[in-house]
Amino acid sequence: MNTATLDVSASNKIELENHKLEKRLCRQVGDAIITYNMIEQGDRVMVCMSGGKDSYGMLDILLKLQQRAPIEFEINAVSLDQKQPGFPDEILPNYFKQLGVKFHIETKDTYSIVKQKIPEGKTMCSLCSRLRRGILYRVADELGATKIALGHHRDDILQTFFLNMFYGGKLKSMPPKLVSDNGGHIVIRPLAYVAERDLQRWAEIREFPIIPCSLCGSQDNLQRQIVGDMLREWEKKTPGRLSNMFHALQNVAPSHLLDTQLFDFKNLQTTGVEDADGDKAFDVEMPMIRGIGII
């Protein structure tokens, strides 16, 4: 086999892998949309674009699904220019024009507000996010958007779960669909089932013009970054662990937690009926225990 044949074979393999990734991304986003009824007939979906790999991937996949979906919905890409120093404000408009997608650029100097309010070395993400949300809600009203799409993915959801548990004392994460803080909008996360590593690969394949964040993206040792590193290390040591943890968020047994608001422990009575979530739920390793004569 000559070098040319090897090159063609390698090229075909790469093309096949890229096609498989595209199919997986479309399937996962489509499944999330259907499971949580994220997009309905006639919706005007405001796709929030930060210039990062996640929002580019979300827009790219939604545009593909728009062509195949059995329902009709509009897509309007919206970006917030926060007047960060050196921000290349021509990149996103040029990209949107190239795609032929409807878009709106909102300019608001939140950068100066964040820098003024947050002491040097402190985390900027919280205030920046609050300011951004308020502006995006207003823009959604002005555009008549019925859904606001954010680019959070599976790994973001898991990171938020552990952040809330470690630092907030709550079992709480990012829901795939929710009512906005002000009660006036439906917010959706179409990438809820998508792994970050797949979005990274897709961004490289599609050669998205990524715009780095000069606010939170420049801060080291953020709690989210630390938790993210922890999860990546877990996945490296035990492949599939993140997927299992994500499925756990969709398979909750309130009777085996401690929240009295979710389960009536005080009035618990015997039923005489076998419970699938009962003590046997933890018997996975029991055969080994029996094997050494403990039971």
User: How, if at all, do strands 102-107 and 177-179 pair?
Assistant: unpaired
Cβ neighbours for 210, distance < 8 A, ≥ 6 positions apart: 51, 52, 53, 56, 203
| DSSP single-letter state for residue 218 | G
At residue 292, the pLDDT reads 36
At residue 9, the pLDDT reads 76
Q: How far is CA 92 from CA 5, 80, 101, 282, in A?
A: 40, 10, 11, 51
Tell me the CB-side half-sphere exposure of residue 211, using CA atoms within 13 A: 21
In sequence order, which ranges of 36-109 are alpha helices (DSSP H)?
53-68, 91-99
User: pLDDT digit string (tens) for 239-281?
Assistant: 999 999 999 999 999 999 999 999 999 999 988 887 766 666 5
At the topology level of CATH, where does 3-249 sit?
A: Rossmann fold (3.40.50)
At residue 154, the pLDDT reads 97
pTM summary value: 0.85
User: How, if at all, do strands 186-188 and 147-149 pair?
Assistant: parallel
Whole-number Å distance between alpha carbons of 223 and 160: 10
Which position has the token pair 């996962």? 28
Which residues of the chain have a pLDDT value below 50?
217-220, 286-295
Q: Which two tokens stand for residue 50?
A: 């930060």
| DSSP single-letter state for residue 146 | S
